[in-house]
Chain A
Amino acid sequence: MIKKLYQMSYLGGNGMGDAAVSGSPKISRRHVLGGTAALAGLATFGMPVAFAQGGGGTLRLAQGADAQPKNILAGRAGNNSWRHQVFDALTVLDGETGEPVPVLATDWESSEDGLTFKIRIREGVTFHSGRPLTADDVVFTLEQVKVPENASQMAPLVRAYTSITASAPNEVTITSETPVAPRIFDVLQLAVILDKDTFAGLADGSQVVGTGPFKWVEWIPGASLRLERNEAYWSETPVALDGVEISIITDSTAMANAMRGRVDLVLAMTPRDAIMFRGNPNVELIEAPGAQIFPLGLNVTAAPLDSKELRQAIGFAIDRQRIIDQVFNGVGTPSCLWWRSNEPGTTEEMVNHYHYDPEKARELIARAGAEGAEINISVIGLAPVPAIYEIVQNNLREVGLNPVGTVLETAAFDQGQTAGDLGQAFQQIHGLQGFSAATLVDALPALRDTNPSKFAPERYRQLKDALQSAQGEAYAPALAELGEFMLDEAFSHILLQTPPLHAKTPQLQGVVWDNVGFLHLDAASLNG
């Protein structure tokens, strides 16, 4: 039984189960901006609040990647589980609509031209250290995003701002030469607000201080992380869980096996391991946002891939559904896009632009005169990419090409990716799904200006600029134009999108994932 839990909106996910979700009212941004606390605001919609009645206890959770407090400002799998427990962001992107929802911000406004952006910060919030949150902490955090050592994927965006100032004790003003919104909400989602006094403690995890619903208590690198409820949490609705115990289990099968009574929640199981739990009444499988995408990049300057027809042919040659069925046990969607399909401007045609059509592929290859051409593919040696390559190789052989794969060790592959140099063709693995397309086109290594496809025509940059400065209604057509251009140029084929597959016990209620797949436990409870 796979439930798409993220369909609960961020605000709606308070442990009411499916019935409540279907009846969940659409919350427009205007309502939320009204100034009431986001979470406490629920009561005004007449929704039952399950967590108010007990449901405490310690949530036991298993995940594969270790925590990386040092990289809290960057998107890292190991931080997804605790980032929003220990810290709060100014705004979070709603898991269903992708719209920003206020958390530490209460309100924001953009000037007519979009070049000045003001955020008002919630009052009465204190850090776990007891010190009240001020606009200075927000300015400090945004400045840290720029620092290259912190490795934030949002660094280029923040570096483009001309000023970030605390214009009042509870107000921050940002100015820029290009419109700040809507991309700022991606920055605010990722840049959880840090305590400037204890920032140095993040380096070794000795002091991890935020304003979130849980306090960081003890971290044993590579083994476990323990969190405890923050009794002084600012929200009016109480936090039910007493604490969170995170076990780090790097082996995927062993992690999945922990679900047999040792933990209440397992994050990011492989579909292969999840099979064991199909039909098990004590385990609920959840497909959450925060998908991974698997690009097949083609270097447009390396013959014979300088032929657009050949590049398109490769898109039609690959049987995406078979990859999903055999490598991912049916979990995933054969999307051709680099962003989540809830982005405005995305059409069904774009999602399925390249579909399995070997006849058409052969035709295009013949037109390009590339029959029997050798294609060297560098493959990142990180499961499940080599397995995907096996099908890609098979498919390309079927249409008369000669693929030669080299599996590279992860560190070596990443180095080539950073340098924008991966050879003729390459199979990557990317995350960050759920951030806006306008942000992703400059953040994803496959798409940014120094991409290893060496694809950088002027029109590409122009379309990106147009999308990034598009305000309101103009966003959707700008994205459609850019997306179609990118699909047609076929320099980076997305083979599929696979959502993270989480498993939980039925007793665990009110767990919420936001649009980028970060976990929120402030409304979670353990019943029975």
Chain B
Amino acid sequence: MLAFLARRLPSVAFMLLATSIIAFLLPRLAGGDPAQTIAGADATVDQVEAIRQQLGLDQPLPAQYLDWLFGLLRGDLGTSLITNRPVGQLILARLGSTLELALTASVLMIAFGIGLGILAGSVRKGAGRFGLDSAISVLLATPPHVTGLILILVFGITFNMLPISGEVSILRDPVTGFSLLLMPALALALPQAAMIARLIQARMMQIRQEEFVDFARAKGVPRSQIVLSHILRNSMGTAVVATGIRIGELLAGAVVIEAIFARNGLGLMAVDAVTSRDYQVVQIVVLGAVVIAVLTHLFSEILLAALDPRIRLE
């Protein structure tokens, strides 16, 4: 495994470096700058210019980039240009909200994904199969933000069962917190769950054809037990990898979901940072997301190898 990691390292490092450059340049290419945000809409030219200098934005770009990069290497995430608070502190303050959402969504995703997958993999004919296949297809094609709007229309408006927007920490008021969390988490989880379900379904179909299943059947092992102990156990690897990758996507999807359901998490912070041109925050959010994506990818590969002795890390 160490050899595997060592071989992967240069390419990971290259990717992160490239990402850091993109993350640094992207917000700066846009019109408007943080000095304008701080100075406000009524500001005069000299006020904006004075703030630009105060923030060090009049320095040449390479100097600003290296400054940031060396800070990062020292573990300093930088200071928000707008609030003057350390970026790490700002992220920590919002992390709770996004974690609540992502964790609830992950639980729902795994539950629905595996449940649906096993169901779809076990039901092999008739209307049930058609219904399950269509349900999975529909869920798969509908992204979280549209699912979210549909949930709002159904549970928020038509049946008036759940509040449609807002946020209360689940630690502070579990009942209200959870009722506000349910719809966004579900919206986030369903498309990913469908993806997992489809993979499990396909893998179960495939394994069903393999010899050891035939053997078990010949031995007279009951059907349900075959599904559970043979087919399912061998399908889990796929599910684990899929889940790993999907959790990364959950975080990405959280941005729009937070906007629709008005949750004050990292996604909304990222959007605010871009619109207020808080370069330092945008840089960290972008870089952080790519790091998470790369790490989950690596981690799932290693985990998969650990679960399935037939797979060797190369």
Q: Do chains A and B touch in the complex (CB under 8 A)?
A: yes
Among A151, A220, A222, A430, point to the contact of B39 (Cβ < 8 A). Answer: A151
Q: B90 is contacted by which of A149, A222, A253, A415 (Cβ under 8 Å)?
A: A222
Chain A residues whose CB sits within 8 angstroms of the CB of B39 once the complex forms: 151, 418
> Across the interface, do B166 and A257 meet the contact criterion of CB distance under 8 Å?
yes
A496 within 8 A of B: no
| Residue B71 at the chain A interface, CB threshold 8 Å | no
Centre residue among B42, B259, B261 by max chain A CB count within 10 A: B42
- Asked if A414 lies at the interface with its beta carbon under 8 angstroms from chain B, I say yes
| Residue on B nearest A380 in the bound complex, by CB | B41
Which chain B residues border A232 with CB–CB below 8 Å? none
Nearest A-chain residue to B84, judged by Cβ:
A204
Q: Are B38 and A411 in contact (CB under 8 A)?
A: no
CB pair B166 A258 closer than 8 Å: yes
Query: Is the C-beta of B44 less than 8 angstroms from some C-beta in chain A?
Result: yes
A205 at the interface (CB under 8 A from B): yes
Asked if B31 and A257 make an inter-chain contact with CB atoms under 8 angstroms apart, the answer reads no
Is residue B129 contacting chain A, with contact meaning CB distance below 8 A? Answer: no
- What CA separation (Å) do A3 and B131 show in the bound complex? 56
Whether a CB of chain B sits under 8 angstroms from the CB of A250 is yes
Determine whether A288 belongs to the interface, using a CB cutoff of 8 Å to chain B. Answer: no
Interface residues on B, range: 35 or more
Q: Does A71 contact B (CB under 8 A)?
A: yes
**CB–CB A149/B36 < 8 A:** no
The listed residue (B31, B43, B84, B261) touching A203 by CB distance below 8 A is B84
With A148-B47, A222-B264 as known contacts, state yes or no: A70 contacts B85, CB within 8 Å.
no
Chain A residue with Cβ nearest B47: A148
Interface of chain B residues 254 through 285 with chain A (CB within 8 A): 259, 261-262, 264, 268-269, 272, 275-277
Assuming the contacts A149-B47, A221-B90, A249-B262, asked whether A410 and B42 have C-beta atoms less than 8 A apart, the reply is: no
- The complex places the Cα of A409 from the Cα of B54 at a distance, in Å, of 25
Interface membership of chain A positions 253-286, coded 1 if the CB is closer than 8 angstroms to chain B and 0 otherwise: 1100110001000000000000000000000000
Task: Check: A223 CB closer than 8 A to any chain B CB.
Answer: yes
A418 and B43 within 8 A (CB) = yes
Instruction: Check if A379 is an interface residue, CB within 8 A of chain B.
Output: no
Residues of B within 8 A of A430 (CB): 41-42
B45 within 8 A of A: yes
Task: Let me know if A155 and B47 touch, CB within 8 A.
Answer: yes
Whether a CB of chain A sits under 8 angstroms from the CB of B88 is: no
Contact size range, A: 35 or more
Neighbouring B residues of A257 by C-beta, 8 Å: 163-166
B128 within 8 A of partner (CB): no
Chain B residues whose C-beta falls within 8 Å of the C-beta of A222 in the assembled complex: 83, 90, 93-94, 264, 269, 272
A220 CA / B84 CA spacing, docked (Å): 12
Judge whether B262 and A221 touch: CB under 8 Å. no
Interface residue? B32 (CB, 8 A): yes
A380 and B60 alpha carbons, distance in the complex (Å): 30
Shortest Cβ gap from A292 to chain B (Å): 11
Q: Is A417 an interface position by the 8 A CB rule?
A: yes
Contact A149 B50 (CB under 8 A): yes
Are A411's CB and B277's CB within 8 A? yes
Residues of B within 8 A of A411 (CB): 30-33, 36-37, 275-277
Complex Cα distance A257/B85, Å?
A: 29
Check A409/B32 contact, CB under 8 A, given A204-B84, A250-B272: yes
Closest partner residue, chain B, to A412 (CB atom): B31
* A149 to B51 alpha-carbon distance, docked (Å): 5
Known contacts A203-B84, A221-B90: A251-B165 contact under CB 8 Å: yes
**In angstroms, how far is the closest chain B Cβ from the Cβ of A386?**
15
Does B104 sit within 8 A of A, measured CB to CB?
A: no
B49 CB to nearest A CB, Å: 8
Write the chain A residue with the least CB distance to B54. A149
B149 at the interface (CB under 8 A from A): no
Please report which residues of chain A, range 184-215, place their CB below 8 angstroms from some CB of chain B when the two chains form the complex: 203-205
Q: Are A221 and B268 in contact (CB under 8 A)?
A: no
Partner among B85, B167, B275 whose Cβ is within 8 Å of the Cβ of A409: B275
Are B165 and A71 in touch, CB under 8 angstroms? no
**Complex-state Cα separation, A76 to B85, whole angstroms:** 19
List of A residues within 8 angstroms of B286 by Cβ: none
Decide if A250 touches B36 in the complex (CB within 8 Å). Answer: no
Are the CB atoms of A71 and B36 closer together than 8 Å?
A: no
**B167:A254 contact, CB within 8 angstroms:** yes
Given contacts A70-B84, A223-B93, A411-B30, 6 further A-B contacts (CB under 8 A): A222-B269, A251-B259, A257-B165, A411-B33, A415-B31, A418-B36
Seen from chain B, the residues whose Cβ lies within 8 Å of a Cβ on chain A are: 30-33, 36-51, 54, 80, 83-85, 90, 93-94, 163-168, 259, 261-262, 264, 268-269, 272, 275-277
Give 5 closest A-B pairs by Cβ, nearest first: A411-B32, A254-B262, A251-B262, A204-B84, A148-B50
What are some 23 contacts across the A-B interface (CB < 8 A)? A71-B40, A148-B44, A148-B49, A151-B47, A156-B44, A204-B83, A204-B85, A221-B90, A222-B264, A223-B93, A223-B94, A223-B264, A248-B264, A253-B165, A262-B166, A262-B168, A409-B32, A411-B33, A411-B36, A411-B37, A429-B41, A430-B41, A445-B41
